[in-house]
Amino acid sequence: MPQKRPNGGGSITKRKDGRYHGRAYVLTPDGTRKRVSVYGRTWEETDAKLAELIRNTRRGVPTPTGSLRFGDYLDYWLEHVVKGQLRPSTYASYEPCVRLHIKPALGSKRLSQLTPADVRTFLQAKVKEVDEHGRRRLSARTVQYLHAILRAALQHAVREELVARNVARLVQPPRVPHEEVRPLDDDEIRAFLAAGRTDRLYAAYLLMIGLGLRRGEVLGLRWTDVDLDARVVRVRRTLQRVNGEILFSEPKTPRSRRTVPLPRTCVAALRWHRLRQQAECASAGRSWDPGGLVFATRAGRPVEPRNFNRSVYAVCDRAGIRRIRVHDLRHTCASLLLARGVDARTIMDTLGHSAISLTLNIYAHVMPAAHRAAAEAMDAALRRGRQL
């Protein structure tokens, strides 16, 4: 039932169309107080919306309004949505894109007046932007990323009923040339593992090739995540360097939190690695960091991701093979499994992909070989059938 609202609690009136209209003064992202409106089908629904706005204002959390400038809204979105709800690495990648590219071009426009043409013109300008030497400043993939940020920011504005539609979703992002992954072939794998066998991070390389773990997942493993008797690894967190600081965070997606069976080769390597680490711990004494990391420095501290990259490059050089990206070790795992007839669904679960389409798109180039093997097997079966 409609009630009288307390002082400072705003007001609610019933409209001619049957809906309820609530109004209250709130704090906006530009630091001013402004009277805003909310609507509901019932008095109770409108009352709940007003109460939420007022609670946020009393906590000092600004409420974005449909008339504010897009740049102010982006600041609000980064601070209260991205930073509060997403991974630190996501905020670290979004913030410079917004500050250096999106706000200078679109920040002065009103959020409610942003159009698909504004977004399209912005993206086209970024694709054509060149430096003093005539080279493109941004790759097509980076421009595509700017579009993804715009789409995410405006989708939140739609959810908060600040705009009626997400204009960025109406704009086609620039095409990005497909970059075919180049995993190690069988000869390169043998050479790489032979050259890395004496490396103190050898077991980490083996886990990336054998299980398809990401670099951050490998470096974030604790011994409590590894059960060598049951031969499983539980991926529960990831290590990343964000803004100069090493952080542990949740895996990339819910599917990235997974339990993966360990090949016996990986079990043997991990047992040997644990013995060596115990010797390092005894040598370090009190200076050993008791974090329980599977892969750590000689003082037990987290491995710097860039140093891990350098270690992989050094192994490639010793093996006499081309230098690969560290992520190509993960690609090598998927390619090995596909070439040996393992189904894409199992590979998706092993790698922790969010959707099977991602697995198929990335590794489509390996499938023709598997398909040829299947055709040869069928051909052999048919030949035997003709001889019966």
Domain borders along the chain are 11-58, 70-170, 186-370
The whole-number pLDDT of residue 366 equals 58
- Residue found under tokens 């690894």: 233
What confidence tens digit (pLDDT) does each residue in 102-136 have? 999 999 999 888 999 999 999 999 988 887 777 88
Summary mean pLDDT of the chain: 85
The whole-number pLDDT of residue 355 equals 78
Q: Which stretches of the chain score pLDDT less than 70?
A: 1-9, 28-32, 59-67, 176-180, 361, 364-380, 383-388
In the chain, alpha helices (H): 43-58, 70-77, 83-85, 88-97, 103-106, 116-128, 140-159, 186-196, 202-211, 215-219, 264-284, 305-319, 327-339, 344-351, 356-362, 367-387
Do 107 and 143 contact (CB within 8 A), yes or no? no
The whole-number pLDDT of residue 295 equals 95
Q: pTM for the whole thing? A: 0.67
The whole-number pLDDT of residue 61 equals 64
Residue in 110, 106, 100 with CA at minimum distance from that of residue 150: 106
In the three-class reduction of DSSP (H, G, I as helix; E, B as strand; rest coil), residue 75 is classed as: helix
What are 361's two structure tokens? 């798109």
Pairwise CA distance, residues 334 & 209, whole Å:
8
Q: What is the rounded radius of gyration, in angstroms, for the C-alpha atoms of the chain? A: 27
The whole-number pLDDT of residue 65 equals 61
- Class of the CATH-defined domain 70-170: mainly alpha
The whole-number pLDDT of residue 267 equals 94
Taking each helix axis from N to C terminus, what angle separates 305-319 and 202-211, rounded to the nearest 10 degrees? 90
What confidence tens digit (pLDDT) does each residue in 4-27 have? 555 556 788 888 888 888 888 777
β-partners of residue 110 are 69
- CA dihedral (131, 133, 135, 138) in degrees, to 10, reads -20
Do 54 and 8 contact (CB within 8 A), yes or no? yes
Q: What is the CATH number of domain 186-370?
A: 1.10.443.10
> How many helices and strands in the chain, by DSSP H and E?
16, 8
Do 86 and 149 contact (CB within 8 A), yes or no? no
The Cα-based distances of 14 to 40, 45, 223, 255 in angstroms read 10, 12, 62, 46
The whole-number pLDDT of residue 278 equals 93
Handedness of CA 87, 89, 93, 96 (dihedral sign): positive
Do 63 and 28 contact (CB within 8 A), yes or no? yes
Pairwise CA distance, residues 318 & 332, whole Å:
19
Strand 11-14 and strand 20-27: the pairing is antiparallel
β-partners of residue 23 are 11, 37
The whole-number pLDDT of residue 311 equals 95
